[in-house]
Chains A and B, each alone.
Chain A
Amino acid sequence: GAVVSQHPSRVICKSGTSVKIECRSLDFQATTMFWYRQFPKQSLMLMATSNEGSKATYEQGVEKDKFLINHASLTLSTLTVTSAHPEDSSFYICSARGQPTIRDFFGQGTRLTVV
């Protein structure tokens, strides 16, 4: 299957700081990338859908000014958690989709801990 690389895998930051997470498709062009949040022992919750060259579409209840998403190229999307608070601590995971396939391939996830 296709390879999606997500970095960092773990990050600890102080309250009030910002954290950037990168998601890269290594061997295909990802026209669409998805960002999810996953709480322990729970399912994947879609935060936003990112299409290359256009603004991300956020799901209801997700603050777009807090979770900044940029999809500047066909191989890279970034999620920036701004002014992080302890309640933002979670497992964030991206997936990438290339055309014409509908199959989504996931990054390895980022464990964010805000202290």
Chain B
Amino acid sequence: GENVEQHPSTLSVQEGDSAVIKCTYSDSASNYFPWYKQELGKRPQLIIDIRSNVGEKKDQRIAVTLNKTAKHFSLHITETQPEDSAVYFCAASKGPGNQFYFGTGTSLTVIP
């Protein structure tokens, strides 16, 4: 099966700085990679996703990059704000009809 690893497990940044979270996956058949943000005691919220036919996707302050050859993908948050503080999960999937394999999560703290 698929194995998704996520680093770092915790990350603290100063407000306004950038944050980068990295994930690797093992199954080359995986072709869909979403990122979720989960605040304490709440549901995971999809913040951005990328399919394997593109290498980068950006949505305002959030971007995701994908390197299929190396089997890794990263979340980039620029100009971080205190409200970005949360746990972020990456996931990988082989497409419709297949389950998500989640990373272990990264607890991001943005220091005002």
List B contacts of A4 (CB < 8 A): 43
A99/B34 in contact, CB under 8 A: no
B93/A109 in contact, CB under 8 A: no
Total chain A interface residues with beta-carbon distance under 8 A: 24
Interface of B is mostly: loop
B105/A107 in contact, CB under 8 A: no
Nearest residue, chain B, Cβ from A101: B96
Range of interface residues on chain B?
Answer: 20 to 34
A111/B41 in contact, CB under 8 A: yes
List A contacts of B34 (CB < 8 A): 103-104
B95/A109 in contact, CB under 8 A: no
* Extra 4 A-B pairs, beta carbons < 8 Å, given A41-B105, A44-B44: A44-B89, A99-B96, A102-B95, A103-B34
Q: A residues touching B (Cβ–Cβ < 8 Å)? A: 1, 4, 6, 32, 34, 41-44, 46, 49, 91, 93, 99-100, 102-109, 111
